Structure 1
């Protein structure tokens, strides 16, 4: 019983690791667009803050 739980946990960990690797590759692929997006978001928030300050 205990061993089954352990092996299930191990396989789940392996699955999440492979999913993380896939996600990491996707993030690297989208890295430039993400940086561009986050910069746009930051400038957008600055504009919103300026509007609030007035």
Structure 2
């Protein structure tokens, strides 16, 4: 857990990929990382999904 957020919660919005992280994830199988989306891919995915449902 990122204890810096206790005193500076604005880091979540201002620096989400650097100082604003909330937790670390430990993977049992490092090959699973191939199935994760990058930030832009996820943004596009959410946009497309919301567009289809409207």
Question: TM-score, structure 1 length as denominator?
Answer: 0.37
Larger radius of gyration: 1
Higher helix share: 1
Question: TM-score, structure 2 length as denominator?
Answer: 0.37
Q: Taking CA–CA contacts closer than 8 Å with sequence separation of 6 or more, which of the two structures ends up with the larger relative contact order?
A: 2
